[in-house]
Structure 1
Amino acid sequence: MDELWAVVVDYGGHADDSLLDALIDAGAARVVVVDNALAVASSRTEPRGQGVVEFRSYGANLGFGGAVNRVLARRGARWLLIANPDIEIAPSALRTLLATGERWSRAGIVAPRLEDHAGQPQASVRAFPSLALAALHGALGVVWPSNPASRRYRREVPDPPNAYLAPWVSGALMLARWEALSAIGGFDASYFLYLEDVDLAWRLTRAGWEVVVDPTVRVRHVGGATTRSRRVVAALWHARSLVRYGLAQEDTATGAALVLFGVLARWAVVVVASRRSSADG
């Protein structure tokens, strides 16, 4: 069994050679690029450095979690790096994440500090949202981004100087222990897009695994490469995922109504804004 594989979930060929080279240089024996945009199943493998890069399509859009699960089912390594195509990572950063994971024997996920294109920290480490917080953020976040609920939701857990336990981390880049992900069945593929990382961390911690952040590792994340031009559709995906997550946390009529209010209000605002923008154009 290999030490490390990587999976890059792509949509339309955004993963470039610099990312693939960095993953191979860091020690990944195999990098699997899954392109969810292709309607025809295909697979080709090319040698690169000390490893191989595999370009694969399953002939359908499996969503983020569904694509990762296909690779996870192959049980190829001890660790699986999961990445978006819009990530910039140095080989040394990945090797440090691996070393941190080895030190934390119950680490199911090890994550870095994510930064934007300007080097500013992104809110990639957060607490689990309550139902009320999720609903208010969903309803108000589009029309009033600085509302108290959204500010609280986006509040990042302060970084201590060394690796620490966190509630959940962004799925834009995470190093996962293959054993841990397999033990809980991988991602819940019913989260087609958004909140699959929240749900994953929630289920891992319930199963006795840990989510660890190493703030000494800095990784750049451009963000939004596959959804920036699909705002209304992305809002619908977000709404569906939020309903799914909310119902998983509290299976009551009140909880369902609260979540539905927030996400439907958010989606309605996005649709109206999009139509107005199209009319003005």
Structure 2
Amino acid sequence: MTSQPVPPVGVVTVTYSSGEYLHNFLRTLKTATTAPVQVIIADNGSDDGAPEAAAADDPAVTLVHTGGNLGYGGGMNRGVAALDPDVEFIVIANPDIEWSPGSLDELLAAARRWPRAGALGPLITEPDGTVYPSARRVPDLVSGTGHALLGKVWKNNPWTVRYRNEDAALVERPVGWLSGSCLLVRRAAFDSIDGFDSRYFMFMEDVDLGDRLSTAGWLNVFVPSAVAMHAKSHSVSRHPERMIAAHHDSAYRFQADRHPGPAWAPVRWGLRAGLAVRAKLEIAAALRAQAADSASTEEER
């Protein structure tokens, strides 16, 4: 009896001058699964040549130029659309992810255990080995606002603690949402909600995705037996003023979408005003820190 061929897994990453991060992503992906992979690089306007080099080096890699900086969700949607139609499972991941051996196979095995899982996420570590809280609760208006306004100045406030869900046991379980830095999604689930909401340029698009999957009847499942390392926000640190503004815009959009209509208008106005003030303060602090780092670097030369 002839065995059936193993279906390919789609892997989509969005690049924006990702350099060596992309190289390490593809290098470690080779030991993450025994399944054949089809890799799509959705490039949002890189100028470092890394996406072109990756596509030239590996026939499994296809480069898709998005035509501009569409943001993370928009770029992902473009990349997913380029996958072969027979791809059932899709990896959605930042190019600064590094895979542990067998980690993608662990996610695929979990998907078979959880047939209603629309998204499955690994345990994500930071470069120093710290566990990143990648499996969280969906923020409601109270907890989301409390975390947004107090998370930086009072890290252990009850709303941030509840939102980050850091004390939860590292066991396989359904959660509210999973970090979009590294996800395995079932294509049927992704297509059923029309993928990412491209209005989110960066940040909160994964919270929105997880919440909409849950609303549509799918599960978001945390799989800590799969491990990936996130090298963290290389593009964010270069442009703090843009990224901080995008983060606050996304936080507002998430809550505003879930509280529509005239009755909620005063709440939306107050939320927008509070987030605008917080964004200005964070941008000013980030630019001061960036200037101090530059001055320190100049003094060392």
CA shift, 1:276, in A, is 4.2
- Cα deviation code 1:199-238 (max 9, x no counterpart): 0011111111111111112211121122012212111000
Distance 1:46 1:29, change over 3 A: farther
Partner of 2:299: none
CA shift, 1:279, in A, is 6.8
Superposition pairs for residues 155-194 of structure 1, below 5 Å? 155-156=165-166, 158-161=168-171, 163-194=172-203
- Say yes or no: does 1:214 pair with 2:214: no
23, 26, 49: which one pairs with 2:29? 23
- Cα deviation code 1:50-105 (max 9, x no counterpart): x6112332220011111111122235211110111111113411111111112211
- Say yes or no: does 1:121 pair with 2:121: no
- Say yes or no: does 1:257 pair with 2:269: yes
- Say yes or no: does 1:36 pair with 2:44: yes
CA shift, 1:139, in A, is 2.5
List runs of 5+ in structure 1 lacking aligned partners: none
Distance 1:98 1:257, change over 3 A: same
SS at the partner of 2:221?
A: strand
Distance 1:100 1:157, change over 3 A: farther
8 A contact 1:166–1:213 mirrored in 2:
yes
Distance of 1:136 and 1:213 partners within structure 2: 25
8, 15, 31: which one pairs with 1:10? 15
Distance of 1:111 and 1:221 partners within structure 2: 13
Distance 1:144 1:52, change over 3 A: same
Partner of 1:268: 280
Superposition pairs for residues 30-179 of structure 1, below 5 Å? 30-38=38-46, 45-46=55-56, 48=58, 52-76=60-84, 77-156=87-166, 158-161=168-171, 163-179=172-188
CA shift, 1:29, in A, is 2.5
Distance 1:267 1:107, change over 3 A: same
List runs of 5+ in structure 2 lacking aligned partners: 1-5, 296-301
8 A contact 1:87–1:222 mirrored in 2:
yes
**Pairwise CA RMSD of aligned residues?**
2.4
- Say yes or no: does 1:246 pair with 2:258: no
Provide the TM-score with structure 1 as the length reference: 0.88
CA shift, 1:13, in A, is 2.7
Distance of 1:216 and 1:247 partners within structure 2: 36
Indicate the larger mover: 152-161 or 236-245.
152-161
Structure 1 outlier segments of 4+, above 6 Å: none
Distance of 1:137 and 1:235 partners within structure 2: 15
CA shift, 1:12, in A, is 0.4
8 A contact 1:115–1:218 mirrored in 2:
yes
Structure number with bigger Rg: 2
Distance 1:28 1:198, change over 3 A: farther
Instruction: Return the letter of the residue paired with 1:259.
Output: L
Provide the TM-score with structure 2 as the length reference: 0.83
8 A contact 2:120–2:184 mirrored in 1:
yes
Distance of 2:167 and 2:187 partners within structure 1: 26
Partner of 2:245: 236
Indicate the larger mover: 93-102 or 13-22.
13-22
CA shift, 1:16, in A, is 3.1
CA shift, 1:248, in A, is 1.3
Query: Higher helix share goes to which structure?
Result: 2
CA shift, 1:3, in A, is 2.9
CA shift, 1:117, in A, is 1.1
Residue identity over aligned pairs, in percent, reads: 31
SS at the partner of 1:227?
A: helix
Instruction: Return the letter of the residue paired with 1:169.
Output: L
Aligned residues: 276
